[in-house]
């Protein structure tokens, strides 16, 4: 049986970031990935603030497009925030994972595609990790000093048994996103080039939002995402695909489009940092411990960060500088901390709002923010900006109430 210092299950951004760092530090690392290639689950839109490149030493080759603008459209209004320098990027999710995997492999890590983790058992201080190769029923095993659960929302190792389908647990937020990669004529591409475009309100996607992001030349990522699929706070009777098709018809305004790829995924988020982070020499990272932000469902940056934090703690543990991996859980709670709790609160407010008119008022409240304040809100979830936005929104709501006559049915309702 092969022995490894660290076995990482899942080659998403989180697992790859941990593998990259641990292999660089000289540890013997094995990555197990159930899919046969990175093309098989190329599901993520890849929107992120520009800083992701410098924060995680990522090269230009993983960038699909740079964006100087952010546009938010509600049913009755639209606003663009703009800078002359890029403020955000759209990453090519497949190229990002290929880049991180190649670095880890160059550092000596092994990556087994088509290998699905099944179980583990403890043998003294080590772990025996069992997995199966796709199309083969034989159970294979490797030995590890540390096991990392980087299986994303599947939470296959540490979170096994957690109820995260949103059907009963009130403190789980479930989000589903579906997206097309479409080839469009140059003129249509230019309308959306250089810009992260978001669409809010139940016309575009009840209990969620829609988006159009540029990729490389003449390719757009166009998608819709919805929260709480099992609990309807906002009526929606149509399938998510209908909203996606509507977005294509109303925004692209052309039949000259070619759908290159269709993908989607359901992600679940456990509120109040309740996921198990550590169990002796097993540790969970990325979406397996709800690093995805519940407000925006941006998760790549945070999965990368948790992978790096985990790698540092695992290194210290293997070098016997710390007795256990508990500091990892503390550091992760500090990293997400208040900002994720504020995002949870805003999520409850925004995605449960059934009235499109109120979503337009939210846009009016957002308009009062500068581009850097907007970035602070949507990418950094800053408490102060969130409160400023929410206070503005409440004032606009009050103004709306006082502008109605007492006979107005809207006021009475």
Ligand X SMILES: Cc1cc2nc3c(=O)[nH]c(=O)nc-3n(C[C@H](O)[C@H](O)[C@H](O)COP(=O)(O)OP(=O)(O)OC[C@H]3O[C@@H](n4cnc5c(N)ncnc54)[C@H](O)[C@@H]3O)c2cc1C
In 3D, which of 207, 131, 134, 213 has the Cα closest to residue 166? 207
State the DSSP string of 27-42: --EEEE-SSSSTTTT-
Which residue's structure tokens are 């606009």? Answer: 396
Among 51, 55, 83, 154, binds ligand X (CB under 6 A): 154
Nearest approach, Cβ of residue 143 and ligand X (Å): 17
Residue 18 in contact with residue 313, Cβ under 8 Å? no
Among 81, 104, 145, 152, binds ligand X (CB under 6 A): 152
Nearest approach, Cβ of residue 395 and ligand X (Å): 31
State the DSSP string of 255-279: S--EEEEEEEEEEEEEGGG-S--EE
Among 7, 150, 173, 234, binds ligand X (CB under 6 A): 150
**Binding of residue 116 to ligand X (CB under 6 A):** yes
Stretch in the footprint of ligand X (CB under 6 A) among 36-44, 139-147, 182-190, 390-398: 36-44
Which residue's structure tokens are 């550590």? Answer: 278
* Paired residues of 148 in beta bridges: 8, 283
Helix (H, G, I), strand (E, B) or coil at 155: coil
**Binding of residue 179 to ligand X (CB under 6 A):** yes
Q: Which is nearer to ligand X, 35 or 77 (CB)?
A: 35
Nearest approach, Cβ of residue 405 and ligand X (Å): 44
In 3D, which of 67, 69, 73 has the Cα closest to residue 364? 73
Residue 203 in contact with residue 356, Cβ under 8 Å? yes
Q: Kindly give the pairing relationship between strand 195-200 and strand 69-73.
A: parallel
Size of residue set near ligand X by CB under 6 A: 40
Alpha helices in 169-227 (DSSP H): 186-192
Q: Which two tokens stand for residue 46?
A: 């890849």
**Binding of residue 166 to ligand X (CB under 6 A):** no
**Binding of residue 283 to ligand X (CB under 6 A):** no
Q: Which is nearer to ligand X, 226 or 392 (CB)?
A: 226
Nearest approach, Cβ of residue 323 and ligand X (Å): 27
Residues of span 351-390 touching ligand X by CB under 6 A? none
Q: Which is nearer to ligand X, 65 or 267 (CB)?
A: 267
Site string for ligand X, 7-26 (x = CB under 6 A): --xxxxxxx-----------
Among 182, 212, 252, 292, binds ligand X (CB under 6 A): 292
Residues of span 198-257 touching ligand X by CB under 6 A? 223
Q: Which is nearer to ligand X, 10 or 276 (CB)?
A: 10
Nearest approach, Cβ of residue 208 and ligand X (Å): 11
> CA gyration radius for the chain?
22
Q: Which is nearer to ligand X, 14 or 201 (CB)?
A: 14
Distance of alpha carbon 64 from alpha carbon 66, whole angstroms: 7
Distance of alpha carbon 310 from alpha carbon 18, whole angstroms: 7
For helices 383-403 and 326-350, angle between their N-to-C axes, nearest 10 degrees: 10
Residue 18 to residues 185, 218, 238, 315: CA-CA distances in angstroms?
Answer: 40, 34, 40, 10
**Binding of residue 177 to ligand X (CB under 6 A):** yes
Among 28, 132, 203, 265, binds ligand X (CB under 6 A): 265
Residues lying near ligand X in the complex (CB under 6 A) are found at 9-15, 32-35, 41, 43-48, 116-117, 150-152, 154, 156, 177, 179, 223, 264-265, 267, 286-287, 292, 297-301, 303
């Amino acid at each position: 049986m092969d022995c490894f210092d660290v076995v990482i299950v899942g080659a998403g951004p989180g697992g790859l970031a941990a593998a990259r760092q641990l292999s660089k530090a000289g540890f013997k690392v094995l990555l197990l990935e159930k899919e046969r290639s990175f093309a098989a689950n190329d599901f993520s839109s890849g929107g992120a603030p520009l800083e992701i490149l410098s924060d995680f030493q990522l090269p230009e080759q993983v960038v699909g497009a740079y964006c100087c603008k952010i546009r938010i459209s509600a049913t009755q209004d639209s606003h663009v925030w703009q800078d002359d320098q890029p403020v955000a990027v759209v990453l090519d999710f497949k190229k990002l994972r290929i880049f991180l995997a190649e670095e880890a492999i160059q550092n000596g890590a092994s990556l087994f595609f088509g290998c699905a983790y099944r179980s583990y058992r403890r043998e003294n201080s080590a772990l025996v990790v069992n997995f199966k190769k796709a199309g083969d029923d034989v159970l294979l095993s490797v030995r590890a000093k540390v096991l990392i659960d980087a299986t994303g929302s599947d939470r296959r190792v540490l979170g096994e048994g957690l109820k995260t389908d949103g059907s009963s647990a009130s403190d789980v937020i479930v989000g589903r996103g579906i997206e097309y990669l479409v080839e469009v004529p140059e003129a249509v591409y230019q309308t959306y080039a250089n810009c992260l475009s978001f669409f809010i309100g139940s016309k575009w996607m009840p209990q969620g939002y829609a988006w159009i992001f540029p990729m490389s030349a003449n390719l757009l990522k166009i998608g819709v995402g919805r929260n709480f699929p099992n609990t309807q706070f906002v009526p929606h009777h149509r399938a998510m695909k209908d909203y996606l098709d509507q977005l294509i018809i109303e925004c692209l305004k052309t039949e000259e489009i070619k759908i290159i790829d269709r993908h989607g995924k359901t992600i679940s988020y456990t509120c109040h940092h309740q996921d198990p982070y550590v169990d002796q020499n097993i540790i969970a990272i990325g979406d397996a411990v709800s690093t995805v932000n519940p407000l925006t469902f941006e998760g790549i940056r945070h999965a990368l960060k948790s992978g790096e934090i985990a790698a540092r703690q695992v290194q210290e543990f293997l070098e016997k500088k710390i007795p256990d991996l508990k500091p990892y859980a503390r550091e992760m709670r500090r990293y997400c901390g208040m900002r994720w709790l504020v995002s949870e609160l805003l999520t409850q407010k925004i995605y449960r709002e059934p009235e499109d008119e109120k979503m337009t008022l939210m846009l009016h409240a957002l308009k009062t923010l500068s581009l850097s304040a907007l970035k602070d809100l949507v990418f950094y979830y800053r408490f102060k900006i969130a409160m400023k936005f929410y206070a503005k929104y409440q004032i606009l709501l009050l103004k709306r109430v006082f502008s109605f006559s007492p006979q107005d049915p809207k006021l009475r309702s």
